[in-house]
Structure 1
């Protein structure tokens, strides 16, 4: 080995080993070769990390979240600790994607022989007024329900203990609280209030019989917060589901990985599509093709032109397949083609929290 070879060794710990080998004199050239190889391997690893960091920095925020979530899921695999649960009717039918007009106080979505009707309610303000709340909507409402449902099922109780502050509660769900006009604190409060005030009618039928459960999901909660999200005095430490809602949740809850929820947390449509596909493909016995028309009925809220909806759904499904590239679902001219899959393919372990 020459001094030129020695010059390739730059890291301090490797230079220290080089000098130790020089002092010993024994097998010095062999040690230089080992250290040069180690340095090259480190350099390649650093270059790969730098390239990855540059790639991530160039990605839009939502895609970066999906890329990072995919890596974590592939590295760590499925785990019951990462599961969250949605009431199955809400996972299948869903809430509105966007805020309804102020005069619209009811929303209904049907899927197959199941329907969910959500009616906006009122809450009593601290000054005694009853204030109309909107129909809950968007990704935050979905993530709040998933978080509270999971805590209830984990504790096998309709009474849920929460973090001591609103900030803590938001962080538990993967939201970093941000104030200001464009922050997420006020929209988060709005969805909590909307959920606290609303009623839900969950219906199913088979052509001969029908059944309906009419519930107020949150039976007891105080949601008139102070101005600061870290205040403890105005934030409830317990929230209670109604018994009827909790009983339905125990019977019908759909598991989904929390890393997936967080990766899709800016899109209600993608959250719904992910949960709906999860429900479908883990129950299929044979290949299924769903026509574009029912797809638009299910996921086309906000789209009047078929062409625009199809384009949006292509993007939405591509986002999901960034998380799970082998998910057996694809869009064709005929519609959405799905094949059966084991739940573990979606990072859902066979043994879930509910057993």
Structure 2
């Protein structure tokens, strides 16, 4: 590590900092980024949220996020709910690295920092402290998925409510900085749970790295982009109309006034369409109309995911 570090990243062990080189190589190669399909449909909070749980619903799928605690070497620290741009980008990077290496164990200390820096996000001072906290909060949170499944039993269709434990990480290791009054943590290695890894390798949605880089100013814009990347190429002939009420349930649970949500949703949708020009989305009376569109990453550029 440097003798006189200017940021906490500079003070990380040398082998962790070296991970940034691998991230840079992947970025320069122009390879797609990835995110599990379910997280393209329902996402994390976009702003600080009171309480220890958060819920978001889209159609027959619902996500519950529960804040966790992290062991700092002395005591259990209560972490907040992860929120905003940074944990979303961290999930993209972790998912991409797991697919690239075909491994549940992902080095994150330097590689996440390089990934975020390359996207134009500040990594010093207050911004770095926020990122460190958000990464730890993400590493220890619990995700639960609820969905409705229709099954035919005895010739009769019945709906079943299913709850799944979708905790993304089984274990994480963190470098302990003991220079302050209270130890602080920076995750250096994360092991994905088998269930999350299996879901990732089976349902990963390819994303355009350049598009993500242009949307880092808004968690809502990132959510809309990943949703359209997952949704548009599956739209059937004739299109799919989605009401403002359904869109607010999926994207705007933080808004009490639908007018405010509609205004922000339309504004961020314009940002997304600027980086995903092939997306066919139009405003209609009462909501949005989705038309069948090519995915943001041509299928010829997406390597087949094979896990031995």
Q: TM-score range by the shorter chain?
A: 0.7 to 0.9
The answer as to whether partners of 1:80 and 1:351 remain within 8 angstroms in 2 is: no
Question: Quick check: 158-167 or 187-196, which moved more?
Answer: 158-167
1:222 CA drift (Å) = 2.6
Aligned residue for 1:60? none
CA contact (8 A) 1:289 1:334 kept: no
Match of 2:137 in 1: 194
Q: Quick one: distance in 1 between partners of 2:280 and 2:115?
A: 35
Mapped partners of 1:312, 1:290: distance in 2: 17
Question: What is the alpha-carbon distance in structure 1 between the residues aligned to residue 60 and residue 300 of structure 2?
Answer: 27
**Inter-partner Cα distance in structure 2 for 1:80 and 1:353:** 13
Gaps in structure 1 of 5+ consecutive residues: 1-78, 229-233
Q: Does 1:115 align with 2:62?
A: yes
Q: Structure 2 length normalisation: TM-score? A: 0.78
The residue aligned with 2:257 is 305
2:43 aligned partner: 94
Q: Is the 8 A contact 1:162 1:169 kept in 2?
A: no
Alignment partner, residue 225 of structure 2: 274
1:272-294 alpha-carbon deviations (Å, 9 max, x no partner): 11111222211011211111111
User: How far, CA to CA, are the matches of 1:85 and 1:165 in structure 2?
Assistant: 15
Alignment of 1:353 onto 2:286? no
1:271: Cα distance to partner? 0.6
Higher strand share: 2
Q: Corresponding residue for 1:39?
A: none
Query: What CA deviation, in whole Å up to 9, does each residue of 1:65-90 have, x standing for no partner?
Result: xxxxxxxxxxxxxx994311112111
Determine the C-alpha separation between the residues in 2 that align with 1:270 and 1:260.
Answer: 10
Question: Corresponding residue for 1:158?
Answer: 104
1:315 CA drift (Å): 0.8
1:289 equivalent to 2:241? Answer yes
For these two proteins, the number of residue pairs brought into alignment is 264
Deviation digits for residues 280-334 of structure 1 (CA, Å, limit 9, x no counterpart): 2110112111111111111223322222222112211111122234421012322
2-structure distance, mates of 1:89, 1:136: 17
Aligned position for 2:190: 239
How far apart are 1:258 and its partner, in Å?
1.3
Q: Distance in 1 between matches of 2:272 and 2:66?
A: 30
| CA RMSD in angstroms, aligned pairs only | 2.5
Q: Deviations over 1:211-233 (max 9, x none)?
A: 433143222223355389xxxxx
Aligned residue number for residue 201 of structure 2: 250
Q: Is the 8 A contact 1:147 1:173 kept in 2?
A: no
Higher helix share: 1
For residues 52 and 61 of structure 2, the distance between their equivalents in structure 1, rounded to whole angstroms, comes to 21
Match of 1:135 among 73, 77, 81: 81
Secondary structure of 2:97's counterpart equals helix
